[in-house]
Amino acid sequence: MIYIENLTKKYSDKTLALDDVSLGVERGEFVTIVGHSGAGKTTILKMITAEEIPSQGKVFFESTNVHDLRRGEIPKYRRKIGVVFQDNRLIPNKTAYENIAFAMEAAGRSDHEIVADVPEILKLVGLDNKLWNFPHELSGGERQRVSIARAVINQPELIIADEPTGNLDPINTFDVIGLFKKINEMGTTVILTTHNKGVVDLIGNRVVTVEKGKIIRDDKEGKYVL
Amino acid sequence: MNWINIKRVSKAGFISFWRNGMTSLSAVLVMFISLFIVTSLVLGSALSQSIIDMLKEKVDINVYFKTNVTEEDILALQEKISTLPEVKDVSYTSKEEALEGFKERHKDNSLILSSLDELKDNPLGAVLSIKAKEPSQYEGIAKFLEEDGVSISSDGSGIIDKVNFYQNKLVIDRLSKLIAATEKIGFSISLVFAIIAIIVTLNTMQLAIYTSREEISVMRLVGAGNWYIRGPFIVSGIMSGFLASLLVLIVFYPITIWVGSRTADFLAGINLFNYYTQNFFEIAIITMGVGILLGGISALLSVRRYLHI
Ligand SMILES: Nc1ncnc2c1ncn2[C@@H]1O[C@H](COP(=O)(O)OP(=O)(O)OP(=O)(O)O)[C@@H](O)[C@H]1O
Ligand SMILES: [Mg+2]
């Protein structure tokens, strides 16, 4: 599904963030990317979402070369991907409901679908009583669940999660990882980054280890070795 | 962009305008000041134009004829003058009318009246009053009257006693200069202030939207199209402009009453408040149009900066 070929990324200040990285992710997989801070995990994800342009190499989504997309085609491409961040990146002056509704509106879904689906997805992540709360009125774990709900609402083919548990306590971490596993079991491909050994063990799937911009391990069965 | 999107974008714009209370308020205030300046300039230039028109109306030159000149000769000259392109109007006052007017003006002065009665003949000549389209054209008209063959009777003698252009020359020259200067200075001042207003508004908008850049990047990541992201900001900008122009139109009521009552004498009968209410419709359209354009365009320019990639 995602094919990264010989990807090198030098940021404008000459930092070599990725150094000739190749990685393939198949449909339905749950891939965890681990590595020290600054290893290049976020940079890999930004390449997939077309937020950054590679210095060398290519990224394919199925048969589409992501960085050959014209500007006008990028929004449509991004709707195939749901994204979750460590700091959740909810829109601060929109309520939980509106944050999710916005993603649906952006994807051109009807008002009817929005009214039906938003409460349902919020119920699924256990927030059916917080529909009209603003992000600053929610706890970190609750915010993260809203952002997961937003990521999955349009039934994307791929979920990208950059340290989704980075700010959460163990119990919330457990819940959130449980949500990702459920999403993956329903058939959505998930790519997730973390530095938390507990999270890796919890997921127990393929683990890709990155160090200094290179992939140094690719284990089929969850192992955290650093 | 279809109907449902327009509806969603407008709604989002209204909501974010409301929720970003302080930011929206400061945008409205800045635009209020800009629009206040723009409207003052519009009002000021319209007013000075009507004062100038009024002054122009008051200026003319008179041609006094010798007493022995026949009416036909004068009317023939009137005919010639009125074909000049610079001339707006020529009016003829006969000897008798001139005498009537003179008596009327001096009806309290028995000495003048009695001495007039002693004269057998009417001592006054006929008069042609000439109004030019522009004050600067009087000189040309005066010259035309001096040309050979222009003011000559059928028997070949000169018919004009005197032309009062030369007494009025100073006033006419000053007025011409004043008009030219007012137009030039007025235009430059308006231009400078309009540019300042645009720059200040643009900066305020940019600041307001700068605080939303994180939000914009999130919107992009959930796959929102460019117009879907820009739209609400533009709607908010338009709302700020609309509210600011409403405020300006309201505030001008007391201001024009106050200024009007203080300057009515000096402005020779033109009352600013009456002027404002009589031309309210045009002024409102200009102010709102400028407000909406200013708000919408500065929001568009500002949000474009954060929409790359
Ligand atoms: N926009 C940028 N401009 C310049 N350098 C950058 C930029 N973004 C990241 N880098 C650098 O690229 C390297 C990789 O960064 P990246 O964010 O991918 O690391 P990471 O593995 O996600 O780290 P962390 O676990 O701390 O999130 C780092 O050295 C970082 O300083
Ligand atoms: Mg990172």
Chain segment B135-178, per-residue pLDDT in tens: 778 888 888 877 766 666 666 677 778 788 777 777 777 877 88
Check residue B309 and give its pLDDT: 41
Residue B262 is assigned to a structural domain of this protein: yes
B170 is a domain residue: no
Q: Which of B132, B165, B198 is the last residue of a domain?
A: B165
Strand A158-162 vs strand A81-85: parallel, antiparallel, or unpaired?
parallel
Q: Report yes or no on B127 lying in a domain.
A: yes
Categorise residue A40: left if φ over 0, alpha if ψ from -120 to 50, beta otherwise.
Answer: left
Q: ipTM for the complex? A: 0.77
Chain B residue closest in CA terms to A153:
B222
Q: Please list every protein residue whose CB sits less than 6 Å from any atom of ligand 1.
A: A 11, 13, 15, 17, 35, 37-43, 195
For range B214-237, the mean pLDDT: 86
Q: How many CB atoms lie within 10 A of CB B263?
A: 13
Higher-scoring residue by pLDDT: A60, B160: A60
HEC string of chain A equals CEEEEEEEEECCCCCEEEEEEEEEECCCCEEEEECCCCCCHHHHHHHHCCCCCCCEEEEEECCEEHHHCCHHHHHHHHCCEEEEECCCCCCCCCCHHHHHHHHHHHCCCCHHHHHHHHHHHHHHCCCCCCCCCCHHHCCHHHHHHHHHHHHHCCCCCEEEEECCCCCCCHHHHHHHHHHHHHHHHCCCEEEEEECCHHHHHHHCCEEEEEECCEEEEEECCCCCCC
B149 and B215 together in one domain: no
**Cα angle value B226/B231/B235 (rounded, 5°):** 165
Measured by CA distance, the residue closest to atom 11 of ligand 1 is A17
- Do B70 and B180 share a domain, yes or no? no
Residue of chain A whose alpha carbon sits nearest to that of B2: A108
Dump pLDDT digits (tens) for B241-299.
Answer: 999 999 999 999 999 888 888 877 766 667 788 888 888 998 899 899 989 998 998 88
Strands A214-219 and A56-61: unpaired
Shared domain check, B299 and B205:
yes
Same domain, B44 and B73: no
Chain A positions in Cβ-Cβ contact with residue B223 (cut-off 8 Å): 75-79, 81, 103, 106-107, 154
Ligand 1 pocket test, pick from A13, A43, A85, A196 with the greatest ligand atom count within 8 Å of Cβ, gives A43
Is it the case that residue B123 has pLDDT exceeding 70? yes
Are B7 and B76 found together in one domain? no
Which pLDDT score is estimated for B151? 67
Q: What is the DSSP string of chain B?
A: --HHHHHHHHHHHHHHHHHTHHHHHHHHHHHHHHHHHHHHHHHHHHHHHHHHHHHHHH--EEEEEPTT--HHHHHHHHHHHHTSTTEEEEEEE-HHHHHHHHHHHTTT-HHHHHHHHH-SS--PPPEEEEEESSGGGHHHHHHHHHSTTTSB-TTS-B-EEEETHHHHHHHHHHHHHHHHHHHHHHHHHHHHHHHHHHHHHHHHHHHHHHTTHHHHHHHHHTT--HHHHHHHHHHHHHHHHHHHHHHHHHHHHHHHHHHHHHHTTTTTT--HHHHHHHTHHHHHHHHHHHHHHHHHHHHHHHHHTT---
Which of B139, B165, B191 is the endpoint of a domain? B165
Q: Residue B300 domain-assigned?
A: yes
**In a domain? residue B98:** yes
How much of chain A, in percent, has pLDDT values that exceed 90? 61
| Range from A73-87, B58-72, B92-106 that averages highest in pLDDT | A73-87
Is the Cβ–Cβ distance between A162 and A147 less than 8 Å? no
Does a structural domain hold residue B207?
A: yes
Q: Assess whether pLDDT exceeds 80 at residue A47.
A: yes
Q: For the domain that residue B112 is a member of, what is the CATH number?
A: 3.30.70.3040
In this structure, are B179 and B275 located in the same domain? yes
Q: Which of B71-80, B135-144, B226-235 is the most confident on average?
A: B226-235
Q: Which among B133, B165, B197 is the end of a domain? A: B165
Tell me: do B216 and B295 sit in the same domain: yes
Q: Is A51 on the interface with B (CB under 8 A)?
A: yes
CA-closest residue to ligand 1 atom 3: A11
Q: Say how many domains are in chain B.
A: 2
Atom of ligand 1 nearest to the CA of A18: 14
Specify whether B289 is located in the same domain as B199: yes
pTM beyond 0.90: no
Q: Domain range spanning residue B194?
A: 3-55+175-306
Instruction: Please indicate, yes or no, if residue B192 is contained in any of the structural domains.
Output: yes
Q: Are residues B50 and B64 in the same domain?
A: no
Percent of chain B, pLDDT > 90? 10
B79 plus B139 within the same structural domain: yes
- Within this chain, do residues B64 and B34 fall inside the same structural domain, yes or no? no
Q: What is the pLDDT of residues A114-138, one digit of tens each?
A: 999 999 999 988 898 999 999 999 9
Do B133 and B239 have their domain in common? no
Closest alpha carbon within chain A to B221: A78
pLDDT at A132: 94
Residues of chain B whose beta carbon is less than 8 angstroms from a beta carbon of chain A are: 4, 8, 12, 16, 19-20, 214-215, 217-226, 228, 309
Q: Is residue A41 within 8 Å of A51, Cβ to Cβ?
A: no
Least confident of A31-35, A64-68, B59-63: B59-63
- Within-domain flag for B286: yes
- Mean pLDDT, rounded, for B17-43: 86
Predicted local distance difference test score (pLDDT) of residue B92: 86
